[in-house]
Amino acid sequence: MSENKKPRNESEPLALDTDLGWAIRMVSTAFRRVATDSVADLPGGARGYLVLVALAGDREPPSQLTLAKEVSLDRTVMTYLLDDLEAHNLVTRKPDPRDRRARQVLITDTGRARLTQVRESLGAAEARLLTDLDPTDTEQLRTLLARVAQTAQREVVAANETEC
């Protein structure tokens, strides 16, 4: 096993401040609290924000189903969320040229502008939460969390596929 994947030593003393579950819960709770205000004005709140982030990259517009999988939302929930985002002119949907039954989702210019505003507000909230980290630690934390999140997403997708 590599150094990075070494299992936790069972003889290490138990303490909350070294428990991964406790740390994830505390960070998640604090982040949810500070981030909620930043995304409160978006249709769908945090879910709406994640959809806009997923659409903001330079890539082929995803289908509704692909987008739902990417942000881990039920496809029915995604439909209602997209209806709300579209009603506020933040996204638009068009038939997929390769499959007219599918709909591609695109972020609008209004959606990009709104996403920029929300990201500024969210950035300030994140800075408050990460205040005890220097820029190098902050970047390393983001990188490591992104990797863990990708693993977690694969686990969720695999579990969902087994349930079908």
The answer to the question of residue 26 being in a domain is no
Q: What is the pLDDT of residue 1?
A: 42
pLDDT digits (tens, 9 = 90+) for 33-54: 888 888 999 999 999 999 999 9
Verify that 72 and 140 share a domain, yes or no.
Answer: no
Provide the token pair at 162: 């087994």
Mean pLDDT taken over the chain: 88
List the domain range (segments joined by +) for residue 72. Answer: 39-131
Q: Are 82 and 93 in contact (CB under 8 A)?
A: yes
The answer to the question of residue 20 being in a domain is no
Give the CATH number for residue 107. 1.10.10.10
The answer to the question of residue 34 being in a domain is no
Distance from C-alpha of 112 to C-alpha of 23, rounded to nearest angstrom: 33
Query: How much is the CA Rg of the chain, to the nearest whole Å?
Result: 19
Provide the token pair at 155: 């686990």
Task: Give whole-number Cα distances, 95 to 52, 56, 111, in Å.
Answer: 19, 19, 19
Verify that 55 and 119 share a domain, yes or no.
Answer: yes
Distance from C-alpha of 56 to C-alpha of 62, rounded to nearest angstrom: 11
Verify that 159 and 88 share a domain, yes or no.
Answer: no
Reduced 3-state DSSP string for 81-123: HHHHHHHCCCEEEEEECCEEEEEEEEECHHHHHHHHHHHHHHH
Verify that 98 and 121 share a domain, yes or no.
Answer: yes
105 phi, psi to nearest 5 deg? -115, 130
Q: What is the pLDDT of residue 115?
A: 96
Q: What is the pLDDT of residue 164?
A: 55
Q: What's the structural domain count of the chain?
A: 2
The answer to the question of residue 28 being in a domain is no
Return the ∠ at Cα 57 (arms to 145 and 157), rounded to 5°: 50
Distance from C-alpha of 123 to C-alpha of 11, rounded to nearest angstrom: 39
Flag whether pLDDT at 163 surpasses 80. no
The answer to the question of residue 2 being in a domain is no
